[in-house]
Amino acid sequence: MKTLAVDTSTMMATCALLDEDRLLGEFSLNQDMTHSENLVPMIKEMLDNLNLKVKDIDLFGVAIGPGSFTGLRIGIATIKSFAHVFDKPVIGVSTLEGLAFNLPYKGYIVPIIDARRNRIYTGIYNRIKGNLINIVEPTIMEVDKLMELLQEEYDHIIVNGNGTLVYRDIILEALGDQVIMAPKNLNSCRASSIGELALLKYKEGQRDSYYHLVPEYLRESQAQRELRKRDK
Amino acid sequence: MTITLAIETSCDETSCAVLRGGREVLSNIISSQIEIHREYGGVVPEVASRKHIENINMIIQQALDEANIGFNDIDLVGVTQGPGLVGALLVGISSAKGIAYALDKPIVGVNHIEGHVCANYIVHKDLEPPFTCLVVSGGHTYLVQVKSYTEYELVGRTRDDAAGEAFDKVARALGLSYPGGPLIDKLAKEGDKDAIEFPRVYLEQDSYDFSFSGLKTAVLNYLNQKKQKDEKIIIEDVAASFQHSVIEVLVEKSIRLAKERKSDKIVMAGGVAANEGLRNLMMDRGKEEGIKVLYPSKILCTDNGAMIGSAAYFHYIKGHVSDLHLNVEPNLELKG
Ligand SMILES: [Zn+2]
């Protein structure tokens, strides 16, 4: 089953092609906000090199967030179009789960995506019999709150994601020897992880729709928040 | 004949259309978010973008179904590149690029303003350039000399508020709901256009530019003074007098440009081209000057995919095709 996956939740634009048991290709570029320009050419470059066309793909996977609202919509709109044109299945995968999946670690895996102004998107995962399990659901919180939580209740922690670069000092100060910072090759969003998770979820029976798939924003827009306040 | 699928998401309408050639519309699905944005009193960009990504594939499918075609029948993909709200444009352009690449078909990025002009080719089957065109909506006020199907000379533009924006702001001050333009047009019919003297701003002698913020301020001052003196405000008269001040300037400058360029046609486009006061005054003045006045049907005045498809087609047959690096340009200018 050929699976094409993309992740444009963060500054990293990444696409990958997997078949049943191998990664056939993966392109990633960490560049400021050029996803709209580069994503489709990047996918084309990868598929051309593999002598494949979009019509040869059996399953589409896409990171649905949390992350940059605009970035997420670029990836999701692109993948929904692919799936729609050939009426193929599409699976949305949490960006945080994708990051956690990068790390084959027997302890607590904590992906951290910067949400700006000292806030982060995060969740807590661990592996039971090799399967990635979500134990604290994806949420937005202050970085200090996460540090408190980890200090008090968790040990053997590994962190990754762009938030670990932004808040590196805070994390090291709070957690010291309890924490491993992921190496660079496992620190960023990888479409290969999104693709492998999409395939797993597809086999477990998950089905998303190219009509209805939308980002997991984890946050209302500012206008929505203000409107809700006004109505109260 | 070329079958074009066109997508428009520059503001608060999610729209997709299918055209045969540049003038025949097989479907034109428009999903308006007006009800949602009314709660906020105007278009909220992030809310609009969220709605677009939620709706877009449904709208595309409806456009295909109504045109009775499938993706494989498409020869060309057209999409709005700008001007517009960046996040909103990105949804349409990402969808369109995905479709064009998946189908291995050409894609053309379209200037939204050109799209508004091209709406007229759909309605007026014999219309051919050159002509003078007034593009007026909530977001734009442009006076354009259309030289060919793909060449435009931007002659005048607003220096501050768009005409439609002035309508919406005055409407809000009058306590009317969003969007206020059509409501003002309705009230103006009941009012006296000469009741209140609001300024007409013509700018420099030979300028084709517009300015509406002074007029808007004059209306707000008038309303404040009346309120302070506890005098009764006749909103029909305010609407009629304000509207007349706007449309008189729009009409006079359009007529002057048409005469200067020896155009025998003035074509109107954009949301405010649906304003009946504007239509009537332009028709009357056109008759006096021997200039034919044309405008699109109401539905084609609003933002819609069909107008984008028409513009995309005319560029395509001229060999103007975009590549897959096509990106949004929120401040895209009209180029010759
Ligand atoms: Zn428009």
pLDDT in tens, B194-219: 999 999 989 988 999 999 999 999 99
Q: What confidence score (pLDDT) does residue A51 get?
A: 98
Q: What confidence score (pLDDT) does residue B336 get?
A: 60
How close B57 comes to chain A (CA, Å)?
5
Where does CATH 3.30.420.40 sit in chain A?
Answer: 2-94+190-231, 103-186
How close A61 comes to chain B (CA, Å)?
14
Write the class of the CATH domain A2-94+190-231. Answer: alpha beta
Report d(CA A82, CA A39) in Å as an integer: 13
Q: Which residue has the higher pLDDT, B20 or A226?
A: B20
- Comparing CB atoms, the residue among B54, B87, B95 nearest residue A70 is B87
Query: Residue B42 — pLDDT band, cuts 50, 70, 90?
Result: confident
Is B39's Cβ below 8 Å from some Cβ in A? yes
Is the pLDDT confidence value at A123 over 80? yes
Instruction: State the architecture of A103-186 in CATH terms.
Output: 2-Layer Sandwich (3.30)
Q: What confidence score (pLDDT) does residue A229 get?
A: 82
**Range B156-185 average pLDDT:** 92
Report d(CA B169, CA B216) in Å as an integer: 7
CA of B140 to the centre of ligand 1 (A): 7
Q: What confidence score (pLDDT) does residue B157 get?
A: 95
* A15: β partners: A6, A27
A214:B61 CB<8 A:
no
Residue B116 vs residues B86, B133, B306: alpha-carbon distances, Å: 19, 10, 10
Report d(CA A218, CA A221) in Å as an integer: 10
A38:B44 CB<8 A:
no
**Range A9-35 average pLDDT:** 93
Q: What confidence score (pLDDT) does residue B289 get?
A: 97
* A→B interface, C-beta within 8 Å: 36-41, 43-44, 53-55, 69-70, 73-82, 84-86, 210-212, 214-215, 217, 221-224, 227
- The pair of three-digit structure tokens given for residue A112, joined into one six-digit string: 């951290």
0.85 surpassed by complex ipTM = yes
Q: pTM score, two decimals? A: 0.96
For A179-215, what is each residue's pLDDT tens digit? Answer: 999 999 999 999 999 999 999 999 999 999 999 999 9
- Comparing CB atoms, the residue among A39, A40, A73 nearest residue B91 is A73
Mean pLDDT, chain A, integer: 96
**Range B63-70 average pLDDT:** 98
Q: Which residue has the higher pLDDT, B38 or A74?
A: A74
Report d(CA B19, CA B67) in Å as an integer: 8
Q: Using CB atoms within 10 Å of the CB of residue B54, give its burial: 0 to 12 exposed, 13 to 18 middle, 19+ buried.
A: middle
Mean pLDDT, chain B, integer: 96
Residue B234 is classified by DSSP as: -
Q: Alpha-carbon torsion B4, B98, B80, B316, what sign?
A: negative
How close B85 comes to chain A (CA, Å)?
12
Is the pLDDT confidence value at B328 over 70? yes
C-beta of residue B260 within 8 angstroms of C-beta of residue B290: no
Q: What's the CA dihedral at A84, A60, B97, A39 to 10 degrees?
A: 170
